[in-house]
Amino acid sequence: MNEQPSVPRETLQQQAVAWHLRLTSAAADETVLAEFARWRRQGPEHEQAYRDVENLWQQLPQPLLADRQRRRELAAKRRRAAWARRGLGFAAAASVLLALMNGFYPDYLQHPLADYRTRIGEQTSITLADGSVAHLNTDTAMDVTISGNERRVLLLRGEAEFDVAHDTSKPFRVTAGGTTTEALGTRFVVRYDGQAGSVTLLQGKVRSSQPSAQGAHIDSVTLQPGQQISFSAEELGSVQTVELQNADAWRRGRLLMNFVPLKQVIAEINRYRRSQIRLLDDKLGEREVNIALDIREIDAWLAALQQTLPVKVVEAGPFVFLQSG
């Protein structure tokens, strides 16, 4: 008798989560239910994986469950209005696939034609045609144009450190949103999430500018080493002093954060993970912590967190939840 090869536990958990999404998406017809039943009967480990997901779902706070129910009802209403019954199976599958892609692989859907990209969790260094070096952090996309009289980088999203080759005849400018930073032979970091960002100067001098809200003039700020300025679509923020060893710790594979709320730490860590960490306790999220962790050892940090804080880590497939212990 041939035995079925065992399925890795992580794969089973991911399959169980995917099934739970399908079954609670208001798109589960008889065909989907039959497929699920066959998957569940494949072995006790399949049954247990799905029960783990169901148990975790029961632990979620009511506001999250209520929001999920509202989205299910809205999705069902839209599908009934837009699709005929015959096309429901295909549309439901496409909807689930898109939801999974957007949830776990958002970087694949954004800026696919950028000159340079990194996926979630990836980092790389690019030597540009002028000799400057761009170090790209996780989930970053940028376009580069080097002409006879200008060097221009368009940071579409993410974070990059620029080590600029000196050339007085060709200004080096990085644009993120409406903010442009011009380097004067220097090393600096620009971060941008699509709406807001920051510029941190590590060495040399830079000038960041953007049109004023009224468009009547250009707002401009010159930074010194160890200074950072945040920006939004509307304005440049005030200049802040930062710890240089923390500002580019990611270049060394580290995250260093001092006296910051746990929710801020989790938001930073999530930039490097496809499986996002969620806080189930607002009060816990406000607790100030210090961290020094290896980006490649986030799971080990989560395990250690339970030993240092009253925190319980609950895992279900690709999902990780933190709640008060």
In tens, the pLDDT along 167-180 reads: 988 999 999 999 99
Cβ-in-10-Å burial (0-12, 13-18, 19+) of 255 comes to buried
**Tally of domains within the chain:** 3
CA 148 – CA 312 distance, rounded (Å): 57
CA 243 – CA 290 distance, rounded (Å): 14
DSSP tag of 11: H
Phi, psi (deg, nearest 5) at residue 46? -65, -45
Domain end marker among 188, 220, 243: 243
Q: Strand order in 311-316's β-sheet?
A: 277-279, 319-324, 311-316
* Same-domain check for residues 98 and 120: no
**CB-based burial, 217-246: b 16+ in 10 Å, e otherwise:** eeeebebeeebbbbbeeeebeeeeeeeeee
CA 291 – CA 107 distance, rounded (Å): 26
pLDDT for the residue numbered 96? 47
**CB-based burial, 199-216: b 16+ in 10 Å, e otherwise:** bbbbebebebbbeeeeee
CA 178 – CA 189 distance, rounded (Å): 16
Query: Among residues 255, 253, 233, which one has the least CA distance to residue 243?
Result: 255
* Same-domain check for residues 221 and 293: no
* Same-domain check for residues 189 and 304: no
3-state secondary structure at position 236: strand
Matching residue, tokens 């399925």: 7
pLDDT for the residue numbered 317? 64
* Same-domain check for residues 122 and 237: yes
Ranked by mean pLDDT, the top range of 134-138, 296-300, 307-311 is: 134-138
Q: Is 76 inside a domain boundary?
A: yes
8 A C-beta contact, residue 163 and residue 131: no
Backbone dihedral region of 33: left (phi > 0), alpha (psi from -120 to 50 degrees) or beta? alpha
pLDDT for the residue numbered 64? 45
Domain end marker among 77, 104, 131: 104
Q: Is 17 inside a domain boundary?
A: yes
DSSP tag of 127: E
Which two tokens mark 171? 């200004």
**Mean of per-residue pLDDT scores for the chain:** 82
Q: Is 4 inside a domain boundary?
A: no
In this structure, are strands 151-163 and 133-136 parallel, antiparallel, or unpaired?
antiparallel
Q: Is 315 inside a domain boundary?
A: yes
pLDDT for the residue numbered 1? 39
In tens, the pLDDT along 23-78 reads: 765 556 788 888 888 988 888 888 888 887 777 666 554 444 454 555 555 555 65
Phi, psi (deg, nearest 5) at residue 277? -95, 135
Which two tokens mark 132? 């400057």
pLDDT for the residue numbered 261? 95
Which two tokens mark 317? 């497939």
8 A C-beta contact, residue 18 and residue 275: no
Range of the domain at 275: 253-324
Radius of gyration of the chain (CA): 24
Q: Which helix (H) or strand (E) holds 134?
A: strand 133-136
3-state secondary structure at position 289: strand
Q: Is 111 inside a domain boundary?
A: no
pLDDT for the residue numbered 204? 94
Phi, psi (deg, nearest 5) at residue 285? -65, -25
8 A C-beta contact, residue 154 and residue 179: no
* Same-domain check for residues 92 and 71: yes
* Same-domain check for residues 120 and 99: no
Q: Is the pLDDT of residue 7 over 80?
A: no
* Same-domain check for residues 216 and 146: yes
Domain end marker among 243, 271, 297: 243
User: 53-67, 121-135, 211-225, 309-323: which range is least confident on average?
Assistant: 53-67
CATH number at residue 287: 3.55.50.30
3-state secondary structure at position 242: coil
Q: Is 268 inside a domain boundary?
A: yes
* Same-domain check for residues 45 and 147: no
8 A C-beta contact, residue 220 and residue 199: no
* Same-domain check for residues 21 and 120: no
Q: Is 109 inside a domain boundary?
A: no
